């Protein structure tokens, strides 16, 4: 008898049973896969889906379930499974030694607002091409930022620091004129993309810019705006927040700024303009910035598992899974960063410091393209701001007991100490501050 001869009800029922049997079979296969691997408590019905809220909360320490440096999460049927990496050596394998490609899940979130074909989510030759043209750019408009801060001193009112720092980093990411610090590096991204395309047009004797190129150029500009604006401005905000309770660290930064440059911000600016490479001599300030980024690493990455990774002498499969190094967990691991809750810029000068464990920009060929720019922006900002101003957090509401197991900063700063992960990772409650002219004298 053909299926078309059966009553409709029987056909639907048979179809449903077939789907159910297929689903159950798939579920058994999926759930069985994880039985030989370390995972948090695993349910046959839910995998780890029922634990997702809790897992997001404990990931920064991965301590609650005492997970090793590589563990698995079963997220079927919502998505493919995840290999979570909290061991810095394994993170090096997947980003530096083997450079696993970006997982398509990044495109689902990042492409709609920016456009497909952006440098963050593409792989292969397209990524190589974009990487080549986008590398050479930097700029600085910190003196303008400084004059805005001065106005806040005059008014004495509380203001949201992130609104100021966003203007600064937006200017820097989009800048199209040649500016101050070094001719070679004062180029805007739009200019660089156009220049590359015009060279190609000249070689192929084309007369007009094509529409695809323009769309593409807009995508790349949007990418830099998103990747380069809030990330850096959030870091300045968290830096100001952390430093506001560490006058002894501010003191050492100020002394270094006078020693390496010269007393007086205007004179320092002149010197910086003449010799931007002097920034490299600010080793203590660099370590302060590193420590701010250890507490607030901002980015999260998802790679596609292509081959197994080696951990503790065993091969761990990753094919078909997402593989995610979790920077915050590494940064808050007391075995790697002893006394991990202490804001301690000097930890980076210790001989045994494991440099590869500091990963706010990730590492390897796909590490943040803007890292030198971001570090330079942060250095210049702290150099030109720290000696003249004292920032204080306004309207703090410290928590009475720590809200999470991996930081106690909320006992001082309240929920403002937590990052809100959307496209960037700004402070959950905004960064309300007051600022005074500093009475520090060298």
Interatomic CA distance for residues 428 and 407, integer angstroms: 15
What is the per-residue DSSP string for 28-53? Answer: HHHHHHGGGS--SS-BTTTBTGGGHH
CB–CB of 273/181 below 8 Å? yes
369 binds ligand HEM (CB under 6 A): yes
Q: Does 139 bind ligand HEM (CB under 6 A)?
A: no
Contact with ligand HEM (CB under 6 A): which of 103, 152, 366, 387?
A: 366
CB 339 within 8 A of CB 291: no
The CB-of-399 to ligand HEM minimum distance in angstroms stands at: 26
- Pattern 170-199, ligand HEM, x by CB under 6 A: ---x--------------------------
Nearer CB in complex with ligand HEM: 51/90: 90
Do residues 234 and 420 lie in contact, with contact meaning Cβ atoms separated by under 8 Å?
Answer: no
Q: Is 131 exposed, middle or buried (0-12, 13-18, 19+ CB in 10 A)?
A: middle
Q: How far apart are CA 72 and CA 83, in angstroms?
A: 5
DSSP 95: I
Give the pair of three-digit tokens for residue 209.
């810019």
As measured in angstroms, the least distance from the Cβ of 128 to ligand HEM is 9
Cα separation, 188 vs 191, whole angstroms: 5
Shortest separation between residue 293's beta carbon and ligand HEM, angstroms = 6
367 binds ligand HEM (CB under 6 A): yes
Min. distance of Cβ 45 from ligand HEM in angstroms? 34
Piece of the chain touching ligand HEM by CB under 6 A; list 146-154, 240-248, 367-375, 385-393: 367-375
124 Cβ contact list (under 8 Å, min separation 6)? 101
Residues 238-267 interacting with ligand HEM (rule: CB under 6 A): none
Which residues, listed in sequence order, are joined to residue 434 by a DSSP beta bridge?
A: 392
Sequence-ordered strand ranges (E) for 22-165: 70-73, 82-85, 159-160
Q: How far is the CB of 262 from ligand HEM (least distance, A)?
A: 27
Q: If binding is defined by CB under 6 A, does position 347 make contact with ligand HEM?
A: no
- Among 186, 276, 345, 360, contact with ligand HEM (rule: CB under 6 A): 360
Stretch that binds ligand HEM, among 142-150, 152-160, 244-252, 356-364 (CB under 6 A): 356-364
Q: Which of 269, 288, 287 is nearest to 278 (CA)?
A: 269
Q: How far is the CB of 75 from ligand HEM (least distance, A)?
A: 20
Single out the segment in contact with ligand HEM by CB under 6 A; choices: 109-117, 158-166, 238-246, 355-363.
355-363
C-alpha 358/C-alpha 327 separation (Å) is: 8
Terminal-residue alpha carbon distance, the chain? 97
> Binding residue per annotation — 237?
no
Q: Does the footprint of ligand HEM cover residue 227 (CB under 6 A)?
A: yes
Stretch that binds ligand HEM, among 44-52, 149-157, 295-303, 384-392 (CB under 6 A): 295-303
CB of 396 to ligand HEM, least distance (A): 24
- The Cα–Cα gap between 7 and 107 comes to 45
Contact status: 228 vs ligand HEM (CB under 6 A):
yes
Candidates 100, 116, 39; CA nearest to 306 is 100
Cite the annotated binding site by residue number.
Answer: 368
Judged by the rule CB under 6 A, the positions of this chain that interact with ligand HEM are 95, 119-120, 131, 173, 223-224, 227-228, 231-232, 235, 298-299, 301, 360-362, 366-370, 373-374
Cite the annotated binding site for heme by residue number.
Answer: 368
């Amino acid at each position: 008898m053909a299926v078309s001869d059966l009553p409709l009800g029987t056909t639907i029922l048979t179809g449903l049973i077939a789907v159910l049997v297929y689903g159950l079979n798939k579920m058994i296969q999926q759930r069985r896969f994880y039985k030989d691997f370390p995972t948090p408590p695993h349910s046959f019905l839910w995998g780890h889906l029922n634990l997702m809220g809790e897992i997001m909360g404990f990931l920064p320490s991965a301590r609650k379930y005492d997970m090793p440096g590589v563990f698995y999460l079963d997220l079927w049927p919502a998505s493919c499974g995840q290999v979570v990496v909290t061991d810095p050596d394994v993170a090096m394998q997947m980003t530096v030694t083997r450079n696993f490609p970006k997982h398509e899940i990044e495109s689902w979130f990042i492409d709609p607002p920016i456009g497909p074909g952006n440098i963050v989510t593409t792989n292969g030759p397209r990524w190589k091409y974009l990487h080549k043209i986008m590398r050479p750019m930097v700029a600085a408009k910190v003196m303008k930022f400084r004059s805005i801060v001065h106005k806040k001193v005059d008014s004495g009112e509380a203001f949201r620091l992130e609104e100021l720092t966003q203007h600064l980093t937006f200017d820097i990411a989009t800048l199209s004129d040649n500016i101050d610090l070094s001719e070679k590096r004062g180029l805007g991204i739009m200019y660089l993309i156009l220049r590359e395309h015009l060279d190609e047009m000249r070689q192929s004797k084309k007369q007009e810019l094509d529409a695809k190129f323009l769309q593409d150029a807009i995508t790349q500009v949007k990418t830099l705006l998103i990747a380069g604006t809030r990330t850096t401005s959030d870091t300045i905000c968290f830096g100001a927040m952390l430093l506001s309770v560490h006058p002894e660290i501010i003191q050492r930064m100020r002394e270094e700024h006078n020693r390496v440059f010269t007393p007086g911000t205007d004179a320092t600016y002149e010197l910086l303009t003449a010799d931007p490479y002097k920034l490299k001599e600010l080793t203590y300030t660099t370590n302060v910035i590193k420590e701010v980024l250890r507490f607030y690493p901002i980015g999260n990455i998802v790679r596609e598992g292509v081959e197994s990774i080696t951990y503790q002498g065993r091969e761990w499969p990753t094919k078909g899974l997402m593989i995610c190094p979790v920077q915050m967990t590494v940064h808050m691991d007391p075995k790697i960063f002893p006394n991990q809750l202490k804001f301690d810029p000097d930890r980076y000068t210790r001989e045994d410091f494991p440099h590869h464990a500091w990963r706010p920009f990730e590492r390897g060929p796909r590490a943040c393209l803007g890292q030198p720019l971001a570090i330079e922006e942060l250095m210049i900002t702290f150099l030109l701001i720290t000696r003249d101003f004292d920032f204080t957090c306004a309207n703090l509401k410290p928590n009475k007991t720590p809200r999470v197991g991996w930081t106690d900063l909320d006992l001082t700063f309240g929920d403002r100490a937590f990052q809100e992960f959307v496209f960037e990772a700004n402070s959950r409650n905004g960064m309300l501050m007051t600022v005074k002219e500093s009475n520090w004298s060298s």
